[in-house]
Amino acid sequence: MCEIIYGNVIRMETLEMDRGERVERTVAIYESSDSVRNHENTERLQARSHTGSVSVKNRRHRAVQVCLWLLCVLLLTAVVVLCVYFTTDRNRLLTHNYNLTKEKEKILTEYTEILNQNRNMTEEREEMKNKSYELQRGLTEQDQRSDNFKWIYYNFSFYYISSELKSWSDSREDCKQRGADLVIINSKEEQGFLQNGVANNRYWIGLRNDQGLWKWTDGNTFTTGYWNEGHPSSKNNLCASLTSLGWTDEWCKSHKKWICKRRLLK
């Protein structure tokens, strides 16, 4: 473009024209050259501006794509983490529920076994009770048949009158072996009944001095006594015996006869 313009300038200078015309044409040509240059520069600037704007748009588009990609990665990571967490928690809950179910089944099994054992023990206890009752009844009948005068019936109770001599403790042990205990006198009528049958002998009864207090063998402190004159003493290791005149206190280790009592109704 420049070569063409300079060529035109040279050719114009060779023309035979006045100086003023040549100057005007030269100026016009130079003006045309400047406008062409300005136009070219403008086009270059526009091209550069367009290229720059396209590049900026491309970079922005690429940045948006990167952000979207990162967001997708983050969302996918969060989803994976949540899935792993909930799967682990679900498995833990299932395991816990399974263990609770097993523990419940174990407790139910043990409870059933305890119920069965309790039922068996109840049946065994009833059986032993029946056998004990039968044995006691058989012993009573045997004692009454072999030595009828030793067992006396009075007011729903049997009284065993011994013919041997033993200490108070041994006498009580003998009564227990017979399914009874040393007699506890509960009324004036019972006292009179027994007192009339002892003649001139002394028989241990279930009354003993326990640290200064007279108590029956069932642990109760007696309230009404039928003591002979001058009795009882406040000394320890004394036991009560029944005579035809009332009660007397004796050393528990001394040997006396005894009276056992076994009630029919308890």
Stronger pLDDT, 265 or 219, i.e. the higher one:
219
pLDDT of residue 58: 77
pLDDT of residue 2: 46
- Peptide bond preceding 232 in cis form (omega within 30 of 0): yes
pLDDT of residue 27: 44
DSSP state at residue 148: G
Kindly give the interhelix angle for 2-14 and 19-146, rounded to the nearest 10 degrees: 170
The overall pTM is greater than 0.85: no
Our CA dihedral for 178, 180, 185, 190, rounded to 10 degrees, sits at -60
Please give the Cα distance from 221 to 226 (Å, whole number).
14
Stronger pLDDT, 50 or 254, i.e. the higher one:
254
Percent above pLDDT 70 for the chain: 70
The answer to whether 238 and 250 are in contact (CB under 8 A) is: yes
Strand partners, 214: 209
Q: Which amino acid is at 175?
A: C
pLDDT class of 205 with cuts at 50, 70, 90: very high
pLDDT of residue 29: 47
pLDDT of residue 103: 85
- Of the listed ranges 107-116, 171-180, 252-261, the least confidently predicted one is 107-116
pLDDT of residue 231: 79
The pairs formed by 90-93 with CB atoms below 8 angstroms and a separation of 24 or more are none
- Of the listed ranges 76-85, 102-111, 222-231, the least confidently predicted one is 222-231
Phi-psi region at 58: left, alpha or beta (left = phi > 0; alpha = psi -120 to 50): alpha
β 246-251/238-243 pair status: antiparallel
The answer to whether 12 and 26 are in contact (CB under 8 A) is: yes
**How is residue 56 written in tokens?**
């900026």
The answer to whether 181 and 261 are in contact (CB under 8 A) is: yes
Percent above pLDDT 90 for the chain: 23
* Residue-wise burial string across 143-157, b where 16 or more C-beta atoms lie within 10 A, e elsewhere: bbeeeeebbbeeeeb
Which residues, 6+ apart, have CB-to-CB distance to 226 below 8 Å? 185, 188, 191, 195, 246, 247
- Region 17-29: mean pLDDT is 49
pLDDT of residue 28: 46
Please give the Cα distance from 228 to 241 (Å, whole number).
10
The answer to whether 227 and 262 are in contact (CB under 8 A) is: no
- Of the listed ranges 87-96, 99-108, 126-135, 187-196, the least confidently predicted one is 126-135
Distance spanning both ends of the chain, measured CA to CA: 145
pLDDT class of 52 with cuts at 50, 70, 90: low
pLDDT class of 132 with cuts at 50, 70, 90: low
Q: Is the pLDDT of residue 21 over 90?
A: no
Over the stretch 136-174, which tens digit does the pLDDT of each residue have? 555 555 554 555 557 888 888 899 999 899 999 999 999
pLDDT of residue 264: 75
